A and B are shown apart, each in its own frame.
Chain A
Amino acid sequence: MKTNYNITSYCHIKNNHISLNGSVIFSEVHTSFSEFIKAAYKDQNTKYSKFFKMDNLSKLAFLAADVLLKNQNLDLEKDNNIALVFSNKASSLDTDVIHQKAIQHKDNYFPSPAVFVYTLPNICLGEISIKYKLYTENSFFIFERFNAEHLFTYTNSLLATHKAESVLCGWVELEEENYEAFLYLVSKKEGDKEFNKQNIITLYNT
């Protein structure tokens, strides 16, 4: 299926690396995801104090989105109609386990709103929306594995019906020390990568 849209940029965060459009922009071996993402945050000069209260899934999604969006030179005083369409397998399970631990034993019962709020996968979409003032379409999907076909179809629908001018789309998976983010921006802007299912799969696998 041919579209008039292009994949204008993409970002990977996995295996202690961050890459933008296929080139590594940060790489440092750390013993834990928490240490790695903190080092990446500093290296990328992110300067957003709310980052430190986020759960790990939100940190991963936020940083991947930030790497892409800060290069867009967005005027935050104006509406930027960039929809967010994210997906993963584990939902918010990484934080769900933390909340479950806090309530499992009645003699050690300490549920916290600061943890509980992150027991929803779409919270990371809210974090990105707040930073970039995106009053836009947000959807979080759960699939068994990265599902290029569904992401393609849904993104296409948002663009074709003018619900969004561009879509920030992809996969943000985090469970304990296993993490992987792959986000890409789709819009009408010039680009050498046509927006189609095959290109999404090719970029995902780079």
Chain B
Amino acid sequence: MNKTYVSYNNIVSSLGFNSDVVVENIHNEVSGLELIDNKNVLPEPFYSALINSEKLEEAFQKLHPKQEYTRLEKMMITSLSKVISTSNIELNDRVGLIISTTKGNIDALDENNLFQKERAYLSELGKQIKDFFNFKNEPILVSNACVSGVLAIAIAKRYIQQNMYDHVFIVGGDIVTEFILSGFNSFQALSSKPCKPYDKNRTGINIGEVAASTLVTNSDINLTKEAVEIIGESSCNDANHISGPSRTGEGLYRSMNSALTQANLTAQDIDYISAHGTATMFNDEMEAIAFNRLQLQDVPLNSLKGYFGHTLGASGLLETIVGMHSLYNNTLYASKGFETLGVSKPIHVIKKTTSKELKTFLKTASGFGGCNTAILFKKINPN
């Protein structure tokens, strides 16, 4: 089968509006998380990583919008426009669009929102993005809880290998809303402090917002310096519980195992794991068990939730992009918030940002509904 690559990319986030700036901030262990006290959103103060509204507006207005757009649409369009323009790919009938989101314009359901309730349909979000850029094909929206962003990459590869498209642009995003915060808070999953994935003293998750975009392509011409090849991908359900992960990590284990088999690799071939690490007790423990079942306990891993919070439908895509830069920069970035191992099985959490030659990385994610996704990526440029 033909090879498939992940190439041009962009991140619009609290840590900057392009991937290089964002990765530089991660390198310096700068977190976008801050304490927010907004009683309209949540009765108690909470930690979140929010995109600066003025900066977003400024960046978005440069694209000369001709109508009103929602906050999420502005984030997604701003992010995707950079990837489309730098890739220089003509948006013809061989180019697909995948949008990854869990809740889309869910804020439109709020009585006080300026937009009509109809804007909350995910298909309407898809239409807005498609029309802004004039994509020729219908958008494909993926809404598969917290694996959406990484699953979108697997789906792009599959469509390309079925010869439906040559290139697929993916944009992933979700916004921090009262809808989401109140829901996670009702699960008592929100932390009142900056989150600490895998740490003994972890107290739950922070929710953040990001829009991330990338190009998935079958062409090895004009790839970016940090481009990677997708060498294995899989998504397996826990078949256990709709809101809690499997205690044996079954779905994640199967996802990673299947991705390794497809790539014809073993645990020893993986240089780095970009893990999910939400900093809830059950999630982090489940991951540690699944990694151990595959003898991945010695592979350096991090969770980027300490920099951005959990960015839901964008998270898997965001973390894949950072992973690509990690490979290119030959650098393992510190898993922010981690001090002392707080899971029952040994795992190698990166405490300090360090240089190391890297060739291959594994990206994993897990979410509500028992879903799990794992993708293996290989560096193209041998630097």
Give A residues with C-beta under 8 Å from B.
84, 89-91, 93, 96-97, 99-100, 102-104, 109, 111-113, 116-117, 119-123, 125-127, 129-130, 132-144, 147, 150, 153-154, 156-158, 160-161, 163
Are A135 and B251 in contact, with the CB atoms below 8 A?
Answer: yes
**Given A132, A139, A163, which contacts B144 in the complex, CB threshold below 8 Å?**
A139
> Counting CB contacts under 8 A, is B103 at the interface?
yes
- Selected from A96, A117, A135, the residue in CB contact (under 8 A) with B242 is A117
Known: A93-B121, A120-B143, A143-B123. A111 touches B236 (CB 8 A): no
Question: Hey, which chain B residues are within 8 Å of A111, CB to CB?
Answer: 182-183, 185-186
Once the chains are docked, how many angstroms separate the CA of A91 from the CA of B100?
13
Q: Are A141 and B142 in contact (CB under 8 A)?
A: yes
CA gap between A111 and B187 in the complex, in Å: 9
Give the dominant DSSP class at B's interface: mixed
The reply to whether B143 and A121 form a contact with Cβ atoms under 8 Å apart is yes
B227-283 residues at the A interface, CB under 8 angstroms: 234-243, 250-251, 254, 258, 262
Evaluate contact between B179 and A129: CB separation under 8 angstroms. Answer: no
> A126-B369, A135-B236, A157-B159 in contact; A91/B250 too (CB < 8 A)?
no
Compute how far the CA of A149 lies from the CA of B262 in the bound complex, rounded to whole angstroms.
26
A167 to B65, CA, bound (A): 42
Contact of A103 among B104, B123, B144, B182 (CB under 8 A): B182
Q: Which residue of B lies closest to A58 (CB)?
A: B242
Most buried by A among B102, B127, B239: B239
In the assembled complex, which residues on chain B have CB atoms less than 8 Å from the CB atom of A136? 236-237
Q: With an 8 A cutoff between CB atoms, is B178 at the interface?
A: yes
How far does the alpha carbon of A6 sit from the alpha carbon of B235 in the complex, in Å?
24
Q: B120 at the A/B interface (Cβ < 8 Å)? A: yes
**Do residues B162 and A104 form an inter-chain contact, with CB atoms below 8 A?**
no
CA distance A104 to B110 in the complex (A): 7
B158 at the interface (CB under 8 A from A): yes
Task: Kindly state whether residue B370 has any CB partner on chain A within 8 Å.
Answer: yes
Q: Which residues of A contact B164 (CB under 8 A)?
A: 153
Q: Which residues of B contact A (CB under 8 A)?
A: 102-104, 106, 109-111, 120-123, 126-127, 138, 140-145, 151, 155, 158-159, 161-162, 164, 178-179, 182-187, 234-243, 250-251, 254, 258, 262, 367-371
A157, B161: Cβ atoms closer than 8 Å: yes
A21 to B116 alpha-carbon distance, docked (Å): 40
Instruction: Considering the complex, give the chain A residue whose CB is closest to the CB of B125.
Output: A142
The 10 nearest A-B residue pairs measured at CB = A116-B183, A126-B369, A142-B141, A157-B158, A129-B237, A111-B182, A111-B186, A142-B122, A122-B369, A129-B239
Task: Contact check, A154 vs B159: say whether CB atoms are below 8 A apart.
Answer: yes
> Would A144 and B243 be within 8 Å (CB), given that A100-B179, A126-B370, A136-B237 are in contact?
no
In the bound complex, how far is the Cα of B110 from the Cα of A100, in angstroms? 7
B370 touches A130 (CB 8 A): yes
Residue of A nearest to B233 (CB): A163
Of all chain A residues, the one with the shortest Cβ separation from B122 is A142
| Sample of 19 A–B contacts (CB below 8 Å) | A91-B104, A99-B179, A100-B179, A109-B182, A116-B183, A116-B187, A119-B183, A126-B241, A130-B242, A135-B238, A135-B251, A135-B254, A137-B235, A140-B144, A144-B123, A150-B138, A153-B159, A153-B162, A157-B158
Contact pick for A122, options B144, B236, B239, CB 8 Å: B144
Given known contacts A112-B186, A138-B237, A153-B164, A123 and B242 CB-to-CB distance under 8 angstroms: yes
Beyond A126-B241, A141-B143, 4 extra complex contacts between A and B, CB < 8 Å = A103-B178, A120-B145, A139-B151, A142-B122
Q: When the two chains form their complex, are residues B239 and A97 in contact, meaning their CB atoms are under 8 A apart?
A: no
Complex Cα gap A71–B138 (Å): 35
Contacts of B235 in A (CB 8 A): 137-139
- Give chain A residues whose Cβ lies under 8 Å from the Cβ of B161: 157, 161
A57 to B157, CA, bound (A): 29
Across the interface, which residues of A come within 8 angstroms of B162, CB to CB? 153-154, 156-157, 160
